[in-house]
């Protein structure tokens, strides 16, 4: 069983020259995302502090997050392909992105997502953010945790993204 307590921050870049990764605000993070980060960090620690390989992750170990998990293949700089896109998102957004490239997204969404993914690829560090936007005339806040994986421990080839809706509880209304 993986603990959801705040793990140690990994060092970036793998060279040892980068400063420690800034601490993610675990208290503000969705509990399932804290658990997903702990899962990733456990794999990183088992890899002697290098980035873990997605090839060493058994599909059944991802069961707690599958309905809210996106897995991206990183083909080369700036090219990201949806390897796994959950049925829950297909139903919610009306499109199956499995096997499709981020270039097929609307321009504003594409620019934001590709910037995030490229940032994680370059920094070789996880990132977490909250995003509030309008979806079908409803203001919705999403939390996203992006975790890097590398078969060789260095070159990122896969991104695992946990995505959870944070209910606004009536704080926002559309005028």
Q: What is the pLDDT of residues 11-66, one digit of tens each?
A: 444 444 444 445 566 667 889 999 999 999 999 999 998 999 999 999 999 999 99
The whole-number pLDDT of residue 173 equals: 53
The answer to whether residue 157 scores a pLDDT higher than 60 is: yes
Q: What was the pLDDT predicted at 78?
A: 73
How much is the pLDDT for 45?
93
**Separation of CA 4 from chain center:** 16
Q: Which residue has the tokens 């390897």?
A: 83
Residue 1 has pLDDT above 90, yes or no: no
Those residues whose C-beta lies under 8 Å from the C-beta of residue 24, and which sit 6 or more positions away, are 6, 9, 37, 126, 128
Confidence (pLDDT) at 172: 52
* Spatial distance between the Cα atoms of 47 and 63, rounded to a whole number of angstroms: 22
Q: What percent of the chain has pLDDT over 90?
A: 58
Q: What is the mean pLDDT of the chain?
A: 83
Residue bearing the bigger pLDDT, 78 or 95:
95
Tokens matching residue 143: 């939390």
Rounded Cα distance between 3 and 76, Å, is 33
Q: What is the pLDDT of residue 102?
A: 94
- Residue labelled with tokens 């899962």: 39
Q: How far apart are CA 71 and CA 134, in angstroms?
A: 24
Q: pLDDT (tens digit, 9 = 90+) per residue, 90-114? A: 998 889 999 999 999 989 889 989 9
User: With 50 as the cut, is the pLDDT of residue 6 above it?
Assistant: no
| Among candidate residues 139, 134, 159, 164, the one with its CA nearest the CA of residue 149 | 159
pLDDT at 23: 54
Q: Tell me what pLDDT residue 24 has.
A: 62
Quick one: the chain helix, strand, coil %, rounded to 5? 30, 25, 40
Q: How far, rounded to the nearest angstrom, does the alpha carbon of residue 3 sit from its chain's CA centroid?
A: 19
Per the listing, tokens 């049925």 go with 87
pLDDT at 3: 40
pLDDT at 108: 85
Q: In angstroms, rounded to a whole number, what is the distance separating the alpha carbons of residues 80 and 94? A: 20
Q: Which residue has the higher pLDDT, 67 or 16?
A: 67
């Amino acid at each position: 069983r993986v603990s959801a307590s705040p793990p140690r921050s990994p060092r970036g870049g793998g060279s040892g020259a980068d400063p420690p990764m800034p601490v993610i605000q675990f208290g503000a993070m969705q509990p399932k995302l804290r658990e997903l980060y702990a899962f990733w960090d456990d794999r990183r620690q088992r890899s002697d502090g290098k980035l873990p390989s997605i090839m060493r992750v058994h599909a059944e170990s991802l069961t707690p997050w599958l309905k809210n998990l996106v897995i991206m293949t990183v083909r080369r700089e700036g090219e990201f392909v949806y390897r796994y896109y959950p049925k829950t998102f297909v139903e919610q957004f009306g499109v199956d992105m499995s096997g499709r490239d981020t270039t097929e997204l609307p321009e504003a969404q594409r620019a934001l997502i590709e910037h995030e993914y490229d940032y994680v690829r370059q920094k070789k560090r996880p990132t977490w953010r909250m995003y509030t936007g309008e979806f079908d005339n409803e203001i919705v806040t999403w939390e996203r945790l992006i975790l890097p994986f590398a078969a060789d421990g260095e070159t990122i080839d896969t991104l695992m993204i946990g995505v959870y809706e944070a209910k606004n509880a009536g704080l926002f209304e559309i005028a």
